[in-house]
């Protein structure tokens, strides 16, 4: 019995080895082979069809390294390389073919206008081969950086500016989600011809309209009165309104502010003078002495300034300085204009400064600047 069992066991082993030897020669049926080929082709085509998005990093809280995992406000901004941050994002290969470029690694307020000039040109260079660009930035002056790009980038492809209110390395950070959603938004193509948009906290806003409203909260960015352009809820990207730029014919979409036609030396110096009870003339006189070609006033109520500031403004206008009036209230329109003075409409002071700076970098003609504020700044005609 033992001998028979051994012989049968041996035969089974031999048979098993024979089947194993034949396995490499087995083949799929024609139908199965065709199905496998179709699936392989589909996978390859899907990979080819993924939109290309480049993340251009400038630093900020998003790239911040915290003292420890609960240090929400104690961290060093602009510490982590963008390549490492993007590499750590899960499932990004399902939404885009993502590349990175480290433009800089600093807080947003550390950048000069000359550096923003370089950043804008870099974005346009990237958009020659990419379907969209994400720019990471600190949030302190993010709205100004975004508006500068909005006014100067020549390509109508999506440009999304994002950042975070908490550093990458703390519990509950909003940084990875914001970066992932910004890539998703840029890859979707839904903001093509919108100009630059700003995306945080699952919301995206027009660069012209958005402003930072809180020093710490993650829902800090708001578009006063008008509201966000849309929202990102996992796989759903909903656009509920479009900025006026998106309504222009393609031939009229680009602004006159082609940075390729000027040098950094042409960039105008423009300042902001803040009005308050019994405000003195020193801010305006100091800015003029410092070489300002334009000054934006952040006035009380509908744009009013003190008598001392008003008198000093008249003297500055006689010297050729251009003024734009805005309100310090945080929202609302402004219609105050006159000789040497342009109404800022509902642009806040920071946005009005960026627009005036670019206008004066391309022309010294007051009427042209005033027209650009109306057609580009407001979109009213």
Catalytically annotated residues:
61
- What H or E segment, with its residue span, contains residue 176? helix 175-188
Contact between residue 373 and residue 379 where contact means Cβ atoms under 8 Å apart: no
Cα separation, 77 vs 60, whole angstroms = 5
DSSP structure string for 115-132: HHHHHHHHHHHHTTT-SE
Cα separation, 205 vs 230, whole angstroms = 7
Q: Would you give the end-to-end CA distance of the chain in angstroms?
A: 103
Site of tokens 């996992």: 234
Cα separation, 127 vs 109, whole angstroms = 25
Q: Name residues whose C-beta falls within 8 Å of residue 237's C-beta, 6 or more positions apart in sequence.
A: 184, 185, 188, 190, 230, 231
Cα separation, 207 vs 195, whole angstroms = 8
Strands 52-59 and 97-106: parallel
Site of tokens 């003297």: 315
Contact between residue 149 and residue 134 where contact means Cβ atoms under 8 Å apart: no
Strands 52-59 and 132-136: parallel
Contact between residue 313 and residue 323 where contact means Cβ atoms under 8 Å apart: yes
Cα separation, 100 vs 81, whole angstroms = 10
The pair of three-digit structure tokens given for residue 57, joined into one six-digit string? 């990093």
Q: Select from 209, 223, 198, 327 the least CA-distant residue to 272.
A: 327
């Amino acid at each position: 019995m033992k001998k028979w069992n051994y012989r049968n066991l041996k035969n089974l082993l031999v048979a098993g080895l024979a089947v194993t030897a034949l396995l490499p020669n087995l083949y799929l049926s024609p139908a199965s082979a065709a199905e496998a080929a179709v699936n392989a082709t589909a996978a390859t085509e899907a990979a080819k069809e993924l939109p290309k998005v480049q993340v251009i990093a400038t630093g900020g809280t998003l790239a911040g390294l915290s003292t420890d995992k609960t240090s929400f406000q104690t961290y060093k901004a602009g510490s982590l390389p963008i390549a490492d941050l993007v590499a750590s994002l899960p499932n990004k290969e399902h939404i885009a073919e993502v590349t990175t470029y480290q433009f800089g690694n600093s807080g947003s307020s550390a950048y000069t206008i000359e550096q923003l000039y370089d950043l804008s040109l870099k974005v346009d260079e990237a958009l020659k081969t990419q379907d969209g660009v994400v720019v990471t930035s600190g949030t302190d002056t993010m709205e100004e950086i975004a508006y500068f790009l909005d006014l100067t980038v020549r390509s109508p492809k999506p440009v999304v500016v994002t950042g975070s209110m908490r550093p990458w390395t703390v519990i509950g950070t909003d940084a990875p989600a914001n970066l992932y959603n910004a890539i998703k938004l840029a890859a979707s193509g839904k903001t093509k011809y919108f100009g630059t948009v700003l995306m945080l906290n699952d919301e995206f806003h027009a660069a012209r309209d958005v402003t930072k409203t809180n020093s710490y909260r993650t829902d800090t960015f708001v578009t006063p009165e008008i509201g966000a352009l849309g929202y990102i809820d996992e796989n759903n990207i909903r656009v509920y309104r479009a900025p006026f730029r998106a309504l222009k014919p393609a031939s009229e979409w680009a602004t006159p502010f082609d940075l390729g036609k000027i040098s950094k030396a042409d960039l105008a110096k423009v300042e902001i003078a803040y009005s308050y009870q019994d405000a003195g003339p020193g801010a305006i006189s100091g800015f003029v002495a410092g070489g300002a070609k334009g000054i934006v006033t952040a006035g009380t109520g509908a744009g009013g300034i003190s008598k001392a500031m008003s008198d000093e403004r008249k003297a500055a206008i006689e010297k050729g300085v251009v003024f734009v009036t805005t309100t310090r209230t945080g929202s609302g329109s402004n219609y105050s204009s006159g000789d040497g003075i342009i109404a800022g409409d509902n642009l806040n002071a920071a946005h009005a400064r960026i627009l005036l700076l670019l206008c004066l970098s391309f022309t010294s003609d007051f009427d042209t600047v005033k027209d650009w504020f109306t057609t580009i700044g407001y979109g009213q005609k």
